[in-house]
Structure 1
Amino acid sequence: MADESFTDGTRVPSNGNNPCQKTEGVGLISSLPDSILQHILSFIPTKLAIRTSLLSKRWRHVWCDIPSISLDDRTLKAASIISLDDQTLKAASITLNRYTSLKMMNFHLNTTRKQNIPHINRWVEFAISRNVENLSLDFWHPGSSYNFQIPDFFYVNSSVKKLTITLSFTDLMVPACSLSWTSLKKLYLCNCNISDESMAKILSGSPLLESLTLYFCDQLRVLDLSKSLRLRTLKINRNIWVLGPTHIVAPHIHRLRLTNSQLPCTFVNLSSLAEARLDICIVPITGIFEADFLQDMVLKMLEKLQNVEKLTFEGNFLQIISLAEVRGVPFPMFKVKDLTLETVIFQYVIPGIERLLQNSPDLKKLTIRARDTNTIREKDINNYLQLQGLNPDQCWRSKDGVFFNNLPWYLESKHATSFVELVLKNTKTLDIDKIVILLNERYLRFKFEELAIPTLSHNNFSIALLKMPMTSNDDDW
């Protein structure tokens, strides 16, 4: 048998019964109390936690009481080292049979095999019997027409606080029996076909729900959150193939994150909204660009956001705002105090940024992150303007006559300098505490030190130009 690797990188020989062959590192860790060892093992995959039972008699049963279990049928065969064969299902069964903890914090089940479906109910029931608090079920069966039905017992639970359900665009059918998730605070539904009736049952049976995420949930049309008095965070992601939801009533929501699509979506009530993050999903390969519809939808959303104090707009949303601006469409005034713009810096977002700054007289903090969130094709925008009888070259020239780069990743020092000047000019009458512009070093076509930073001594604010990674370290918000 080959040497085993311990979690700290130490190599332990397979005949580890000889204490002289054990490294000092293993000895020190082995001396820790079970509770600390189990806490450490909870941060690694379950199959690796089980493998620690080979280290010595001291480790044989440590994993059996860890607070987290993750079953993944793509990797679970590695856990079969504790069984007499390497069959995935038997390995999973032995894993559950040897687990002794009466309280489970996290249980994750990921299955992609149709033949595992008969065993899912037992695994889920096992987790619920251990009063699991964080339950994640990922059922992905590509190319399968089999619709897995979650058992009725699953819908009555008093321990789960965070629930994640991912289906392969199959139906999430809440049964006729009453639903009761009395402790649930966070719900994440992904790739689920869920009806209005089923969603209403979930909301009615989850009185403590604080956060709801709907990621590509088709069939849902009306999302009425008016009776969910504790629900404060709503996240919705729709793409061009997923219609729902199209009608949203959310009077108690404080935080909204919406990635919309070229499909209708109407907000009826956002009276409590304090923070919003918006973008539009555009898939260039489809060749579809509903410019008129998108401008109308975005402007209606902006009307709903007039009193929101913290706003984040991403690249496609800014391009639609810019398109409406160059066409002379009127914009509302905003009470925003903290504004974040996530976009590449090029000519197709400049008019929208100018208008947002001019219409935000209460602005206190401005953050611009140069991130690649723009997917609308430039030729689609310019073709639309030409059909409207407009000259694209003239439309995208700034009000000061400056031409910005027309390619997303062709930012030269002159463009960056002009952009900083534009921001300063449109904020110089405001009492802003902080302006931050974050640039990615791979995004620059010049040395960072070459950038000429304009200053206006009579303005009481500072500007920080920082390098940043390509990806954002955002939390689940």
Structure 2
Amino acid sequence: MTDEGRDGDDDATATADERSFSHNLGKTKESGDSSEGVIVDSISSMPDEILQHILSLIPTRSAIRTSVLSKRWRHVWTGTPSLYFHKDDRPDANSINETLARYKAPKMMSFRILLNKVDDLVHMDGWIKFAFSRNVEKLMLYLERDGYNIPDFFYVNSSVKQLSINSLYSFKMIPECSVSWTSLKKLSLSLCNLSDESIANILSGCPILGSLILDFCKGVKVLDLSRSPRLRTLAVYNDSCTPGPTKIVAPHIHCLRLRTSPVLCDLVDVLSLTEARLDISYKCQRDKLNADLLHIMVIEILDKCCRNVEKFTFGESYLKMLSLAELRGVLFPKLKAKAITLETPISHYVIPGIVRLLQNSPELKMLTVTHTRNDGFIPGIYIDRNLRSHGLISYQCWSSEARDLEHFDHLRANASFIELVLKTSKTLKKLAIYLGTYYKANGVMKQLLEMVPMLTRNNNVSIVIG
């Protein structure tokens, strides 16, 4: 036990898990384990502020369980700077209300709450008001139950700096009052139903907003960010089932992350961009993939992003459309990229696009390849189908290097890809390839590492395999 000893009443009412937890944590020299006793005494002797910071990193329900350790720990959790009610550690509404009644911290840094029960609906406003009363800075709402309407008071707040609303259904986010979030710097909305007017209202009330994420939100046709001079980071993710904006006006954006449906949006006034991540989400068979239009649009977007962007990231589907553009003879713009990341498995379907990107990036110093794909990748068969529809023999369109990749095993394919990169890019200083767990488990990573000295013997490129 600690110096103050275990409180008998607390131990009598503790659950089996809590008693086991406190028993294991409460060993002392008297129990014969001097090292654990010293550790526990050291932890208990820490100031409340440090203990509360530690407890804020775990779900609140788990933090409360530490109150059974001893009198020293009984009320520590009540001053934690964060409250976290979510998923498996989410108690019922009455327990949450009791927790909030015992909470003593005058200032709350973070509040995370999940609405997933019918009984929660009548309490949600009160929980948000409580967080506002403690000047919460980071507020995360997870809405898994339909029927909740955001009250007007929610849209007027001067303490929240980060706001995240995540929904499992099309949640209506259309404020009928003026928005005033004067301290908000980061806003993330997921599966929210918006409109051009509502997003304009929200943005007008966020004078220092620096980051905006719209994750599968629908209803916005024109996203005009011209009146948000401090907005530097924009992420828009959508597919054909949840269509996003068809036009984005972003004169102040420096970092753009765009994963769109097969009908890409128009980018207007993006000359401030220095970093861009581009991909396409082909979600289901209902998507109508107009490859004739799409391979032109990916080049148009690239052309608008290429003026000042020094760091590009391309997803697999975007690379496939760039490959189709290359095979169809579309001209590529010159890039000023110093760093390019390719998030794709290596296949012959992405090679023509990659090669053209490397050839058109005369300032490239760093190339990173991660063997990943998103859920909405475009099947390669659509590339073949489009080529055939224009009288082209698919197999004859691919370069010899690309054709070989189709028949190589994983080791030879990656080695061949490295050789192709080194031959194509004359300015490259570093190449990093991050393999998936499948490659590591099958020994490809180890064998590829052994081949690196031979692959780089005639150049000064540093190669990292991970």
Q: Please report the TM-score for the alignment, with normalisation by the length of structure 2.
A: 0.88
> How far, CA to CA, are the matches of 1:8 and 1:386 in structure 2?
69
**Contact 2:22-2:66 within 8 A present in 1 as well:** no
Which shifted more, 239-248 or 197-206?
239-248
Query: 2:360 is aligned with what amino acid?
Result: N
Distance in 1, matches of 2:87 and 2:340, equals 44
Which residue of the partner structure matches residue 433 of structure 2? 437
Match of 2:9 in 1: none
Aligned to 1:464: 463
1:15-26 equivalences under 5 Å are 24=37, 25-26=39-40
User: Match of 1:76?
Assistant: 90
Instruction: Give 3-state SS (helix, strand or coil) of 2:404's partner.
Output: coil
- Give the Cα–Cα distance (whole angstroms) in 2 for the partners of residues 174 and 283 of structure 1: 30
How many angstroms apart in 1 are the aligned matches of 2:111 and 2:32? 36
8 Å Cα contact 1:157/1:181 also seen in 2: yes
Counterpart position of 2:70: 56
The answer to whether the Cα contact below 8 Å between 2:264 and 2:294 also exists between their aligned partners in 1 is no
| Structure 1 partner of 2:297 | 297
Contact 2:55/2:63 (CA < 8 Å) preserved in 1? Answer: yes
Hey, what does 1:175 align to over in structure 2? Answer: 176
Q: Show CA shifts across 1:224-274 (max 9, x none).
A: 110101110001101121112111100000000111111241111101000
Shift of 1:5: 6.2
1:362 maps to what in 2? 363
Higher helix share: 2
Alignment RMSD (CA, Å): 2.6
After superposition, residues 114-263 of structure 1 pair within 5 angstroms as 114-141=118-145, 144=146, 146=147, 148-167=148-167, 168-176=169-177, 178-263=178-263
CA 1:11–1:451 in 2, change beyond 3 Å: closer, same or farther?
Answer: same
**SS of aligned partner of 1:406:** helix
The total of aligned residue pairs comes to 441
How many angstroms does 1:438 deviate by?
3.2
1:417 matched to which residue of 2? 415
Q: 1:183-207: per-residue Cα shift (whole Å, max 9, x none)?
A: 1100001110011111111111110
Offset at 1:419? Answer: 1.5
Q: What is the letter of the counterpart of residue 292 of structure 1?
A: D
Letter of the aligned partner of 1:414 in structure 2? R
Q: Specify the alignment match of 1:475 in structure 2.
A: none
* CA pair 297-8 structure 1, distance change in 2 beyond 3 A: farther
SS at match of 1:170: strand
Equivalent residue letter for 1:462: V
Provide Cα deviations, 1:338-388, integer angstroms capped at 9, x if missing partner. 122121111001100111111111222222223334822122221222112
Which amino acid in 1 is paired with 2:412?
A: K
Looking at structure 2, the residues matched to 293 and 233 of structure 1 have their Cα atoms a distance apart, in angstroms, of: 28
Please list every run of 5 or more consecutive structure 1 residues that lacks an aligned counterpart in the other structure.
78-87, 468-477
Native 8 Å contact 2:366 2:429 kept in 1: yes
Which moved further from structure 2: 318-327 or 50-59?
A: 50-59
Query: Does structure 2 conserve the Cα–Cα contact (< 8 Å) formed by 1:284 and 1:376?
Result: no
Instruction: Find the aligned partners of 1:250 and 1:402 in 2 and give their Cα distance.
Output: 37
Gap change, CA 1:255 and 1:156, over 3 Å in 2: same
TM-score of the superposed pair, with normalisation by structure 1: 0.86
Kept in 1, the 8 Å contact 2:59–2:86? The answer is no
Q: Secondary structure at the match of 2:121?
A: helix
Identity %: 46
Q: Relative to 1, partners in 2 of residues 1:8 and 1:58: Cα closer, same or farther, differing over 3 Å? A: closer
Which AA in structure 2 matches 1:434? K
